Amino acid sequence: MADIQQVDGGGRRTGKLVKQISSFAEAHGGAEGQIAYLGQKGARIVLVGEDGEWGDLVAPTHALAEEAVKQSGITVHEAFDGDFANRVRTGPYEWTRMAGIQVGGPKPRQGRP
C-alpha cells in the first residue's frame, strides 16, 4: 500500500473519488466539474450532470482532486460561471438554505445555521 501512495500521492483516495465521479456521471447522463480550493481542508469538486442535477465531493488536496477528475475523464471548467453554472437545477431546498432568506423565502429555524 505504501507503494501506491508514493506513486500518486493517495491511490486509494484517488480511486474512490474517481469511482464517485464516474458513478455520478453515469447516473446523470454525463457530467462536468469545477475544482475549488478550500485552503487546508483541500479542494471541492463540484459536479453538474447533463440533466442539471449537481453534487460535490471534497478531496484532501487540490492535486488529488485534479488527478481524480483527470482519471474520470470529465470536462473540468476553470470557474463556476456562465453556461456551466446556468445548467444547475435548484429546488426548494437550495432556495431555502442558500438564497431563500434574501429573496423572501422561509427563515431558518432558531438554533440552526
Helix axis angle, 62-72 to 11-27, nearest 10°:
50
What is the rounded average pLDDT of the residues 96-108? Answer: 59
- 63: cell is 492535486
pLDDT-wise least confident of 10-14, 23-27, 90-94: 90-94
- The pLDDT of residue 86: 86
Cβ–Cβ under 8 Å, residues 50 and 29: yes
Q: How confident is the model at residue 7 (pLDDT cuts 50, 70, 90)?
A: very low
Q: Output the pTM of the full model.
A: 0.73
Supply the DSSP string of 37-91, one letter for each residue: E-GGG-EEEEEEETTS-EEEEEESSHHHHHHHHHHHT-EEESSS-HHHHHT----
Tell how strand 31-37 and strand 75-77 pair up: parallel
82-99 pLDDT, tens digit per residue, is 888 888 887 777 667 665
Q: What is the pLDDT of residues 42-71, one digit of tens each?
A: 999 999 999 999 999 999 999 999 999 999
**Cα 85 off chain centre by:** 13
